[in-house]
Amino acid sequence: MKKVLALGLLTLACFTQADDRFANVEVKATQVAGSVYMLTGSGGNIGVSAGEDGLLMIDDQYAPLADKIVATLSELGDKMPRYIVNTHYHGDHTGSNAFFHENRGATIFSHENVRIRLASADDADPASLPVVTYQDGIKFHMNSDTVHVFHLADAHTDGDSAVWFEQADVLHAGDLFFNKIFPYIDLGAGGSVPGYITAIEALLSKINDDTKVIPGHGPLANKADLQSALTMIKETYAYVQAKKAAGMSEAQVLEAGLEDKWDSWSWQFINEERWIKTLYPQ
């Protein structure tokens, strides 16, 4: 009986800690262009097309933030998204899937590998799974805009999508773009540094200097910011690979570190050490 009580208290403590983590998070909306908005909170940035045809939402952050997302969406005219596109499978982009599907009737779209990875989790909730999947992409016509969703292979993961709002000229890059910080490349889920570079180059070829870019993480950006991220990745990748080719072990490269000019790109989740460990084995 004591063990059961202890387990119950531990579980309650875990839920309380999770609630506390998001207690002070504010979900804020910023109009980007036309009918397109960017929502920030905790986790991946959300994109929204809002207008007379309803809401199309790109990603939905963590499950405990669902009610806060609803409150912010209601400021845009409707608290019930008709459609949700998942740019990939990570929980900070898909955590509220089940809430919006079960309670709001949203239809969830994604690349087919996103559904496969979400469904393979031991605690997979059927309500969280995308119900429409694609291989190459899909197109929406709503709110006086044409919304192009397209897959980029083996980059951040093996199921990445980016979204371009044609008339508004806004690109939601998902986690193919971390603005001004080292990116997370999920090597265990089909991601790769060369693939990530190729994906960013493809995105750059589709936009111009006036295009607004919503990154997966970081502040609203433009083409120059995306180009800056590509330059950082290419230069640090070449630097680490040159050290490796010269016979240096991963430990030796870690000890040497990167050039000082990249210091500001290090952050809590992907610091210099973790970035080097991403670059070295590729």
Q: What is the mean pLDDT of residues 154-173?
A: 98
Residue of 65, 58, 60, 61 lying closest to 36 (CA atoms): 58
Mean pLDDT, range 104-122, rounded to an integer:
96
| pLDDT over threshold 90, residue 178 | yes
Task: State the pLDDT at residue 1.
Answer: 41
pLDDT of residue 9: 32
Q: Give the pair of three-digit tokens for residue 268.
A: 């809590």
pLDDT digits (tens, 9 = 90+) for 213-225: 999 999 999 999 9
Residue 249 falls inside a structural domain: no
* Cα–Cα dist 65/219, whole Å: 19
Q: Tell whether 74 is covered by a domain.
A: yes
Q: Is the pLDDT of residue 7 over 70?
A: no
CB-CB contact of 93 with 69 (8 Å): no
Going by pLDDT thresholds of 50, 70 and 90, the confidence category of residue 12 is very low
Contacts of 231 (CB under 8 A, 6+ apart): none
Whether residue 250 lies inside any domain: the answer is: no
| Count: domains in the chain | 1
Q: pLDDT for 40-88, tens place per residue?
A: 999 999 999 999 999 999 999 999 999 999 999 999 987 789 999 999 9
How far is 233 from 229, CA to CA, in rounded Å? Answer: 6
Mean pLDDT score, 266-272: 97
Contact status, residue 138 vs residue 149, Cβ threshold 8 Å: yes
Question: Where is 152: in which H helix or E strand?
Answer: strand 145-152
Q: Count Cα neighbours of 117 within 13 Å in the Cβ-side half-sphere.
A: 20
183 lies in a domain? yes
Write down the pLDDT at residue 19: 58
Nearest residue to 218 (alpha-carbon basis) of 183, 193, 194: 183
Grouping H, G, I as helix, E, B as strand and the rest as coil, residue 182 is coil
Q: Given a cut of 90, is residue 10 above it in pLDDT?
A: no
- Residue 164: Cβ within 10 Å count: 21
Can you spell out the DSSP letters for 84-132?
Answer: EE-SSS-HHHHTTHHHHHHHH-PEEEEEHHHHHHHHTSTT--GGGS-SE
Instruction: Give pTM, 2 decimals.
Output: 0.92
β-pairing, 107-111 with 132-134?
Answer: parallel
180 found inside a domain: yes
> What mean pLDDT is predicted for residues 142-158?
98
In a domain, 160, yes or no: yes
- 209 has a pLDDT exceeding 70: yes
Residue length of the chain: 282
Which phi and psi (to 5°) does residue 252 adopt? -70, -40
Contact 278, 187 (CB under 8 A): yes
Average pLDDT of the residues of the chain: 93
| Among 77-86, 88-97, 157-166, 236-245, the least confident range | 77-86
State both tokens at 174: 């998902």
Which pLDDT value is given to residue 80?
86
Task: Give the span between the Cα atoms of 92 and 61, in whole angstroms.
Answer: 4
> What is the rounded average pLDDT of the residues 163-170?
98
At 79 the pLDDT is: 77
- Domain assignment of residue 275, yes or no: no
> Where residue 75 sits, what CATH number does that domain have?
3.60.15.10
Query: Is 245 inside any structural domain?
Result: no
Q: pLDDT-derived band of residue 18, with 50, 70 and 90 as boundaries? A: low
> Considering Cα of 126, then 185, then 21, then 26, what sign does the dihedral take?
negative
Structural domain span for residue 213: 2-222
* pLDDT of residue 23 exceeding 80: yes
**In sequence order, what are the beta bridge partners of 101?**
none
Q: Please determine, for residue 193, whether its predicted confidence score (pLDDT) is greater than 80.
A: yes
Average pLDDT of the residues in 125-137:
97
Q: What does the pLDDT read at residue 78?
A: 78
